[in-house]
Every structure is written in structure tokens, then in C-alpha cells.
């Protein structure tokens, strides 16, 4: 975006005879033309679905699985197997989030009854 000061300076240069009116018009047009910014690079496609289950009392990791996105259906089913049955997790929503390009932690559930913490990430 150009400022009024830049425009005034060009007009003053025309008035003083330092540049011609045509040159001034070209400069003003160049100032008002905003350069196209290149589109942002596409987000990196997720490459792994990570599933980690830890013991709440000891903090030790019971399961730590990294699954390539080509096997994501298997990975979600694996995560479903370890997620507590009473947990409110919709696996269709998880698949939709993955397909829409979500990344980061998508599931974080604690099962106090079995003493486990289940986490799922897309990286």
C-alpha cells in the first residue's frame, strides 16, 4: 500500500521538472500496483498416525505405535481397540479430520477405570 507522502514526492518531482509527467504517471501507477504475493506453500501432508498409551499411575508408556498414513484405516481401528469403551470418541470424525488435513493431537482420553491415557496424533 502506498502512502500519501510517496505520491506527493512524485508530484513534487514533476513540478520541479526532475521527471516528466509521463514518468510521474508511470511511478504513480507502479506505486498503486500491488505485487502479487505467491500462494503459501501447501501444507505438508501428514505422514504418520501416532498412537501412545501410557499408564496413569506409573507414567510408563505401554504402547507407542507410529503408523504410515497409507495404513491410516488400520491405525484408527487400532486406536479404537485401545480407547476405553465408555469414552466419547467418534471414529468417523477422526477420519474426517485426518482427510481434511488436520495435524497435531486429535485424541486425548484418560480411562481412570483401567488407569490408561490414550493419545493419537497426526504428524
| Tens digit of each residue's pLDDT (9 = 90 or more) over 30-74 | 777 666 666 666 555 557 888 899 998 898 999 898 888 777 766
- The residue-averaged pLDDT of 68-90 equals 69
**pLDDT value at residue 28:** 82
The percent of residues in the chain predicted with pLDDT above 70, rounded, is 73
Tell me the pLDDT of the chain averaged across its residues: 78
What's the order of all strands across the beta sheet hosting 48-55? 61-68, 48-55, 116-122, 104-111
User: How far apart, in Å, do the first and last CA atoms of the chain sit?
Assistant: 38
Region label for 73, one of left (φ > 0), alpha (ψ between -120 and 50) or beta (otherwise): alpha
Closest among 70, 33, 68 to 48, alpha carbons compared: 68
DSSP string, 68-104: EGGGHHHHHHHHHHHS-TTS---HHHHHHHHHTT--E
Radius of gyration of the chain (CA): 29
Amino acid at each position: 500500500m502506498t502512502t500519501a507522502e510517496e505520491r506527493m514526492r512524485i508530484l513534487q518531482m514533476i513540478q520541479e521538472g526532475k521527471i516528466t509527467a509521463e514518468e510521474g504517471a508511470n511511478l504513480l501507477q507502479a506505486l498503486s500496483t500491488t505485487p502479487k504475493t505467491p500462494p503459501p506453500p501447501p501444507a505438508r501432508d501428514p505422514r504418520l498416525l501416532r498412537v501412545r498409551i501410557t499408564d496413569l499411575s506409573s507414567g510408563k508408556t505401554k504402547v507407542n505405535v507410529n503408523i504410515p498414513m497409507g495404513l491410516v484405516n488400520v491405525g484408527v481401528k487400532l486406536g479404537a481397540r485401545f480407547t476405553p469403551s465408555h469414552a466419547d470418541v467418534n471414529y468417523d470424525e477422526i477420519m474426517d479430520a485426518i482427510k481434511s488435513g488436520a495435524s497435531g493431537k486429535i485424541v486425548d482420553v484418560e480411562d481412570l477405570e483401567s488407569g490408561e491415557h490414550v493419545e493419537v496424533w497426526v504428524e
